[in-house]
Structure 1
Amino acid sequence: MPASATKPLRVAVLADSDTRWKWGALTANRVAPSEPGEPGAAAGRAVRLDGYLLRGRATPTARQLGEVGVRADSLREVTAVEFLRAVREEPYDLLVLSLVGGGVQAMLHGLKRVWEDRPQRPVVVTGYVGVVYEKLADGLLLRHGADLVLANSRQDADRFRAVYEGVGADASSVTEVALPFLGGAAYQGEHDPYTVVFAAQPSVPESRRDRTYLLDRLVQHARRHPEREVLLKLRSKPGEHTTHIEELPYQKLVQRLDPPANFRLVYGNMGEVLDRTDLLVTVSSTAALESLHRRIPTVILTDLGIRESLGNHHFVGSGCLASWDQLDEGHRPVPDAEWVSRQGVAAEGGAYDTAFDTARERIAKLLGRPGGLPPLTPYYTPVTAPGYLPGILARHHLGPDGTPLPGAPAADREPGPVRQIVRRAARGAYRHGVQRVAPVIRRMGEL
């Protein structure tokens, strides 16, 4: 049958932040098979992508969604209960849960409940947005129960399977892929002017002292090298939230400094910024993997130590660790080829282009399974985690069996204009409290 006559694959993505929307939507397009029951690339079949944004503190703004640059056929904001109602009524083939671990676990139980009387259900996929450097066991067990748990590298796939097998859980869902947003032209040499980019992170480091230190060193580097362009790449504007809460935005901290003319703050798509980057510097941002994939000189800072709380311990063995003192003197780390390969980046021989083939084939086989798919079976149940699971479900207005609790937000109609205004005001008040009130209270407590 010609591709034009093939029924579009119906795909839904549920995300709770701008970065997770980007990962989820791009992943959905990467892993969508050409035809149910037949392995193959997604190019031969149209995909209808419906996006759902989980309402919460990090729900992306219109500006953030525009910056991500990923398009959907439909996109709307929902509560967990509204989402469960929607996927019960819509005949989706594939569902991507791009959420924090607790959100994934709640949806797995809610979906199991709403599909319990259905002979057919979608394939459910989940995973991680980037580097997994904390809460490995906790996050993985909260994601257990999805048909596919995607690992962004060979190293992650090995670690994921070890955790599941270590607790006696089925590890067959672990599927090695790669980060879906890698790409762009390989680095060809220095630009004019030579451009240094510091990729900031919302919550790493957390303290004012550490963030001020990094900002001071970046500004000092700009002063030492007036012939260079020095850019501070920011993820969000004040008042916006991304995957993590940012209590001390660099935009506020830089107001107390007098940076030179060759220092600038920049926003926008990371790939477009990397197009003009000669040196990418960060503490532990996933942007480092994007940079390494394009063979751009990349540095993981050691100034604040190599610590699990910073996430830069993930890059031990990468060959990219260095301090600002070393960079000021012209040092350029050389990445370790084996380490880079295990991270699923800078793959030789076009291996990145085939990184999603296994996932596509597995999804195609699941879609073509005679009699449909079995019920979802998360590792956590009221029997295995009676003191943990109910609280996770309750945060999303679900009972211990995945049923919506009494008083859960109605799912049969869109909120009116007054309710929408109240929601926006409440979200703005929350963000104001996080970024302005909370730091003041914390400083007062230290007096």
Structure 2
Amino acid sequence: MESLPSVFGVPASTPASSTRPLRVAVLADSDTRWKWGALTAKRIAPEHGGASEIRLDGFLLRGRATPTARQLDEVGVRADSLREVTAVEFLRVMGAEEAAGSYDVVVLALVGGGVQAMLHGLKNAWGARTKRPVIVTGYVGVVYEKLADGLLLRHGADLVLANSRQDADRFRAVYEGVGADASSVTEVALPFLGGKPYAGRNDPYTVVFAVQPSVPDNRKDRTYLLNRLIKHARKHPERQVLLKLRSKPGEHTTHIEELPYQKLAEKLPGGLPDNFRLSYGNMGEVLDTTDLLVTISSTAALESLHRRIPTVVLTDLGIRETLGNHHFVGSGCLASWDQLDAGHEPVPDPEWVARQGVVADGSYATAFDAARDRIAKLVAATELPPLTPYYTTVTAPGYLPGILARHHLGPDGSPLPGAPAADKQAGPVRQIVRRAARGAYRHGVQRVAPVIRRMGEL
């Protein structure tokens, strides 16, 4: 097997066995999507001789949520090579003859608009080639909003992964409802479920509140939740209470966090109780010592349920679509802080849990079999048809061009004149300038923009 050219980063060495490892490229636009994309790549790799072999090349899409080194380290998923790129740079790499022939699978771990742009960009880059990588995409977690919009923006990939039986049914219904091909929908499970099952009470008993960057989205509600968590810590001094944070101030994840909880905590009168602390780090490691997981609607709830850890989805702010906790209706996990303070212990509904792809009964090991089989067949095919997204300049002439333009692509998926691209690795000075520019942009998004919005509301 030939080594990858230098543009791909670390060159691949020739394997000792005659079996060629699956070559996968993952393009991600945030830390959480990198985690989903990289772990999905490892889960869907067809097995050879009882073990899956994979070479993973990571590409981080340059933007407001490009993960920092600390965030990547916290995710803990390693790649054989990793580099930061613009959309046009990625397409240039994928469009090279050696890339189209070397990669078996490309995982698009992006927001919906990014997926659609890359589908059209790759279609343009590959032209009439019949030998191309298999394109895989999906969702990082619970799909509770913009179902039709997000799904149609992902249409055109060879596999659109659904994290549960319920999602697979909904996805197919949307595609079939607009007359689009639904055969790409493939049921799997969340790739990061796992870890040791809950074995009983820890010492000390540990309560973890897993926050979300964008829900709720206002100071009043976030301060309320923080105060209730602190009140719970004071009411139960024998317990350890953790505020599990997604990112540090100045960092962004999948969603923008304009009011970080750690900043709110600094301003609370009276200080914080001794049994209360802020927590960063890998969610799986935090769950290893968790006795009660509390959240608004985070995917962490599904990770917790998978391990059979007592899990609560809060109702204090109502059960509303804007919060996402409506997704947990029927789960048996809905409760308020008043109920928790009084000693309530949630009991999840087993049928609801099963429909969500949370398979704590041991069948998780087979959850990716259908995707593996399908990918193996597509990779082995002598040719694949061109990518055919549902959205085109015929079906969505007033929508698609704007989606593509945000990634510096024209209506046909070709790079627009003046699109940012680089033929070689940026030098030290350029890297410093890029970091400074991204830092200024993040400051504007997180600090300046909220102030301007508040002023506009006066």
TM-score calculated relative to the size of structure 1? 0.96
Q: Residues 352 and 228 of structure 1: is their aligned pair in 2 closer, same or farther, counting only changes over 3 Å? A: same
Q: Say if 1:109 and 1:402, in contact at 8 Å, map to a contact too.
A: yes
The equivalent residue for 1:355 is: 367
In 1, distance between residues paired with 2:62 and 2:454? 30
Quote how far apart the aligned CAs of 1:193 are. 0.5
The equivalent residue for 1:97 is: 108
The equivalent residue for 2:68 is: 61
1:195 maps onto 2:206 in alignment: yes
Paired residue secondary structure (2:190): coil
1:422 maps onto 2:433 in alignment: yes
Q: Say if 1:85 and 1:411, in contact at 8 Å, map to a contact too.
A: no
Q: Say if 1:295 and 1:346, in contact at 8 Å, map to a contact too.
A: no
AA partner of residue 47 (structure 1): I
Which of 53, 72, 80 does residue 73 from structure 1 map onto?
80
The equivalent residue for 1:273 is: 286
In 2, distance between residues paired with 1:171 and 1:417? 47
Deviations 1:282-311 (Å, cap 9, x if unpaired)?
000000000000000000000000000000
Q: Say if 1:152 and 1:344, in contact at 8 Å, map to a contact too.
A: yes
The equivalent residue for 1:365 is: 377
1:253 maps onto 2:264 in alignment: yes
The equivalent residue for 2:12 is: none
Matches within 5 A, 1:37-436: 43-44=51-52, 46-89=53-96, 90=99, 91-257=102-268, 258-348=271-361, 350-370=362-382, 372-436=383-447
In 2, distance between residues paired with 1:64 and 1:231? 19
Deviates most, 241-250 or 413-422:
413-422
In 2, distance between residues paired with 1:150 and 1:426? 35
Quote how far apart the aligned CAs of 1:417 are. 2.3
In 2, distance between residues paired with 1:443 and 1:367? 52
Deviations 1:140-178 (Å, cap 9, x if unpaired)?
000000000000000000000000000000000000000
Quote how far apart the aligned CAs of 1:442 are. 3.1
In 1, distance between residues paired with 2:220 and 2:335? 20
Quote how far apart the aligned CAs of 1:85 are. 1.2
Q: Say if 2:43 and 2:368, in contact at 8 Å, map to a contact too.
A: yes
Q: Say if 1:294 and 1:346, in contact at 8 Å, map to a contact too.
A: no
Q: Say if 2:241 and 2:276, in contact at 8 Å, map to a contact too.
A: yes
Quote how far apart the aligned CAs of 1:363 are. 0.5
Q: Say if 2:308 and 2:360, in contact at 8 Å, map to a contact too.
A: no
Runs of 4+ in 1 over 6 A off after TM superposition: none
Q: Say if 2:307 and 2:360, in contact at 8 Å, map to a contact too.
A: no
In 1, distance between residues paired with 2:38 and 2:290? 26
In 1, distance between residues paired with 2:115 and 2:175? 16
In 1, distance between residues paired with 2:389 and 2:73? 35
AA partner of residue 122 (structure 1): P
The equivalent residue for 2:33 is: 20
Quote how far apart the aligned CAs of 1:8 are. 1.9
Deviates most, 388-397 or 421-430:
421-430
Q: Say if 2:23 and 2:104, in contact at 8 Å, map to a contact too.
A: yes
Quote how far apart the aligned CAs of 1:438 are. 2.5
Quote how far apart the aligned CAs of 1:426 are. 1.7
Paired residue secondary structure (2:17): helix
Paired residue secondary structure (1:299): strand
Query: How big is the alpha-carbon RMSD for the aligned residues of Structure 1 and Structure 2?
Result: 1.3
Q: Say if 1:208 and 1:248, in contact at 8 Å, map to a contact too.
A: yes
In 2, distance between residues paired with 1:206 and 1:88? 40
Q: Say if 1:12 and 1:94, in contact at 8 Å, map to a contact too.
A: yes
AA partner of residue 256 (structure 2): I
AA partner of residue 65 (structure 1): L
In 2, distance between residues paired with 1:347 and 1:250? 32
Q: What stretches of structure 1 of length at least 5 have no aligned partner?
A: none
Query: Identity over aligned residues, as a percent?
Result: 83
AA partner of residue 387 (structure 1): G
In 1, distance between residues paired with 2:131 and 2:69? 35
Quote how far apart the aligned CAs of 1:132 are. 0.3
Paired residue secondary structure (1:182): coil
Q: Residues 227 and 151 of structure 1: is their aligned pair in 2 closer, same or farther, counting only changes over 3 Å? A: same
In 1, distance between residues paired with 2:378 and 2:137? 15
Quote how far apart the aligned CAs of 1:421 are. 1.7
Quote how far apart the aligned CAs of 1:119 are. 2.7
Quote how far apart the aligned CAs of 1:3 are. 8.0
Quote how far apart the aligned CAs of 1:185 are. 0.8
AA partner of residue 318 (structure 2): G
In 2, distance between residues paired with 1:174 and 1:391? 26
Count of residues in correspondence between the two structures:
438
